[in-house]
Amino acid sequence: MELHLTRPGLVAPVHVDPTGQTGPTPGQARGPRWRGLRAGWYQSVDSPSTTEQRIVEAVGALPDGCAATGWAALHWLGARWSNGLDADGRELPVPVAVGERHVVRQRAGTLVSEDWLFDDDVIVIDGLPITIPARAVTFEARTADSEITATCLIDMATYDDLVSLDELAAYTARLVARPGKVQLQRALSVASENAWSPMEVVMRRFWQLHHQRPLLCNQPIFDAAGNHLLTPDLLDLEAGVAGEYEGDVHASGRARSRDLGREEVSRRHGIEVVTMMSGAGERARFLHRLEGAYARSRGPGPRSWTIEQPGWWVDTSTVALRRALTVEQRERWLRHRRPVQNGPKIP
C-alpha cells in the first residue's frame, strides 16, 4: 500500500520507477542500495534502523486494508512496554492483520494474522494503518505463550491508558471462535488496571496461584493523620502482607536506600513485606518467603495505618480516573509511572 507518513524520521517503501523519481529504477532495485520487501515494494538500505521503521516496512509492503496489530500497533501509539523485543532482547516479528480477504505469505520479520477484521478495527495514526488498541491487545493475549504472559500484556496496555478492562471485555465478547479466546478470557478475569511493571504482574499471579487471596496493586497506605507512608507493589489488605519486586534497578545506591526506608516504615507499622527477585528458581524461593510473611503477620487487628485516602490525595488506580486527569495532574500524580504523556490521539 502507499503510505503517507506524517511522523518524521521514517521512510515508506516505494515501487520501482523507470524514471527514478519516486523509487529506484529497475537497475537500481537490483543493486546493493535497495532491499526488496514483498510484491514489488523496495526499501532503501539507508533507512533508519528503528522499531518504528520496522513497523513501517512491514505494513507498507502489504495490500490496502491491512494494518499493524499486536505490540506493533501499541508501540506506534507510544506504549512503554511494547518495545518489540522478547525477554532476551531479540527482535520480535512485526504482527500484521491482513483480514480474511487477502492472502499474504509469511516472511522473515513479520507475523501475519488472517483473522477477519471488524469494520471499525483499523485506524490511521500519523499515516500508518494500525488496529485499535482493543484489537491489538486481544491479539497479543490470545497468541501469548502462557496465561501469565497474556495477563502481563493486558495489564501493561492499561498502564498506558490505551484501553480499559471494560473495553477489552466488550471487544472480547465480539470474538467468536477465535483461537486463544479462552486464554484471553482467563487473563482478563485476573487483570488489573493499576500494575506498574510486567514483573509485578508475574509476582501477583505467582502469589494468587499459591494463595487464592485478593491483592491490591500499588495501593497507597497512610497513617492515621493522613500522611502517605508507602505504596507497595502488592497488598493483602486483610492479612497486612505486602509484596515488592526488586529488579536490577533496585541494586543501585539511591534506589536501594529508598527500598530500605520503605522496609523500615513497613516494620514500624506492622506490615509484613515479602520481596521477589529476578532469576531462575525465584518462584519457589518467593513462595517460601511468602509463607513466612503470612506466619508473622498480625492479621486484621488494630492498625496504625489505613488505605482510606485523605482529601488531598488524587486516586489514579483505574484507566477512567487517569484519563480524566489534566495534563498538569498527570505530570504530578503519574510521574513515577511515566506512561504515555503526549502520544497521538486515538480517533
Q: How confident is the model at residue 342 (pLDDT cuts 50, 70, 90)?
A: very low
Q: Rounded distance, CA 167 to CA 121, Å? A: 13
Could you tell me which residues are beta bridge partners of residue 216?
Answer: 235
In 3-state terms, what secondary structure has residue 228? strand
Edge-to-edge strands of the sheet including 216-217? 216-217, 234-236, 241-246, 272-277
* Domain ranges (residues) in the chain: 14-189, 198-306
- Helix intervals (H) in 198-252: 198-210
Q: Rounded distance, CA 211 to CA 295, Å? A: 13
User: 178: exposed, middle or buried (C-beta count within 10 Å: 0-12, 13-18, 19+)?
Assistant: middle
Greater model confidence, 262 or 212: 212
On the question of pLDDT at 292 being above 90, the answer is: yes
Q: Which pLDDT tens digit goes with each residue over 76-126?
A: 999 999 999 998 899 999 999 998 776 677 788 899 999 889 999 999 999
Greater model confidence, 247 or 134: 134
Cα angle 133, 136, 138; round to 5: 105
- Helix intervals (H) in the chain: 26-29, 51-60, 70-76, 133-143, 147-159, 165-174, 181-189, 198-210, 253-268, 282-296, 319-323, 327-333
On the question of pLDDT at 339 being above 60, the answer is: no
Cβ-based neighbour number of residue 23 at 10 Å:
19
**161 and 342 Cβ atoms separated by less than 8 Å:** no
pLDDT of residue 256: 60
**Taking the model in full, what pTM does it have?**
0.90
Rounded to the nearest 5°, which phi and psi values hold at 183?
A: -60, -40
pLDDT of residue 20: 84
pLDDT averaged over the chain?
90
Q: How confident is the model at residue 44 (pLDDT cuts 50, 70, 90)?
A: confident
CA distances from 278 to 81, 132, 216, 224 (A): 18, 33, 21, 35
Q: Which pLDDT tens digit goes with each residue over 160-172?
A: 999 999 999 999 9
Greater model confidence, 337 or 26: 26
Lowest pLDDT segment from 31-40, 135-144, 338-347: 338-347
Q: Which pLDDT tens digit goes with each residue over 306-331?
A: 999 999 999 999 999 999 999 999 99
Cβ-based neighbour number of residue 80 at 10 Å:
15
**100 and 114 Cβ atoms separated by less than 8 Å:** yes
Query: For 53-75, what is the mean pLDDT?
Result: 95
Q: How confident is the model at residue 343 (pLDDT cuts 50, 70, 90)?
A: very low
Q: Rounded distance, CA 109 to CA 92, Å? A: 7
Query: For 51-72, what is the mean pLDDT?
Result: 94
Cβ-based neighbour number of residue 229 at 10 Å:
18
Query: For 44-71, what is the mean pLDDT?
Result: 92
Q: How confident is the model at residue 4 (pLDDT cuts 50, 70, 90)?
A: very high
On the question of pLDDT at 203 being above 90, the answer is: yes
pLDDT of residue 241: 97
pLDDT of residue 299: 76
pLDDT of residue 214: 96
First-to-last C-alpha distance (Å) of the chain: 21
Q: Which pLDDT tens digit goes with each residue over 228-270?
A: 999 999 999 999 999 999 976 545 556 666 767 788 899 899 9
